[in-house]
Amino acid sequence: MTSEKFKIGWIGLGKMGNPMSKQILKAGYPLRVYNRSQEKTKALETEGATSAATAKELVEKTDAIFIMVSNDEAVSEIFNQENGIFSAEVKNKIFINASTISPELSISLSEELKNKNAFYLDAPVSGSVKQAEDATLVSIVGGEQSIFDKVKPVLEAYSKKAILVGENGVGNAAKLAVNTYLGILTQGLAEIIQFSRTKNVKTEDLMEIINNSALGSTFGKIKGEAAINENYNAAFTLEHLTKDLRLAQNSGFDKPVGNAAYNTFKNAEAELGAEDVIAIIKKLS
């Protein structure tokens, strides 16, 4: 089976799942979607997708099934609930889990699917809503080379790069490393903005200096502008970053700078969780 013949299933139409699944439609793949909120599936139906009433129905009517939900608990529910994935016949199906979850859960799912003669890739993405809308995400993949090769063209519908980094679970481990770095960068940016303001340095001037230096980055430009405008509408919520930092801790991360970032975000989660990650600047003031 080649990717050109795949019937694609997509589970999870949240902030990331919605624009990512649209890219698959744009690439010309037949797409069937499932989401707990039927309103979101109806919106995609107007763009050419079909919908499924349950995850079981979706699996039975597609070849390659993408999953993009918020956490370990949501992934486990999708697989194990009544009319969930494991209630369907999964033989020869390929499951691509784009959710950021623990490496341990990915390994467990991959083994259970292998026992059912199915295939699994962990394929979390680096990037946020804008990159999903622009099809410039980076897919970080763990699994078998042969399965990766089959679905790589589909991954590239929403990714500027799809990288196989190792066996099942390694993709998720790499994503947790990336997001720990993101937490460190976010706290660092917030801290220097706060410091510079105490010394009468305008944030606009500070960011112009940084963005035109060797330290300049897309991340710095986007989050610096958000800080200048005090725009904390979430592209990536603070609670989701905190969840990823917690997963890294639970997977064995124990280094001083990353630990400090985790503690800062953990302490801000209850108050600022629904806001963008750069809202951490309010907790540091």
CA 253, distance to chain mean position in Å, is 20
Q: Using an 8 Å Cβ cutoff, are 238 and 272 in contact?
A: yes
> What does the alpha-carbon distance between residue 48 and residue 161 come to, in Å, rounded to a whole number?
26
Q: Cβ atoms within 10 A of the Cβ of 85, count?
A: 25
Q: Which active-site residues does the annotation give?
A: 175
Distances (CA, A) of 120 to 40, 86, 108: 26, 13, 10
> What does the alpha-carbon distance between residue 278 and residue 231 come to, in Å, rounded to a whole number?
9
> What does the alpha-carbon distance between residue 28 and residue 110 come to, in Å, rounded to a whole number?
28
Burial 202-228 (b: 16+ CB within 10 A, else e): ebeebbeebeeeeeeeeebeebbebbe
**Beta strands 50-51 and 64-67, pairing class:** unpaired
> What does the alpha-carbon distance between residue 104 and residue 197 come to, in Å, rounded to a whole number?
43
> What does the alpha-carbon distance between residue 283 and residue 266 come to, in Å, rounded to a whole number?
11
Q: Is the dihedral of CA 110, 121, 77, 31 positive or negative?
A: negative
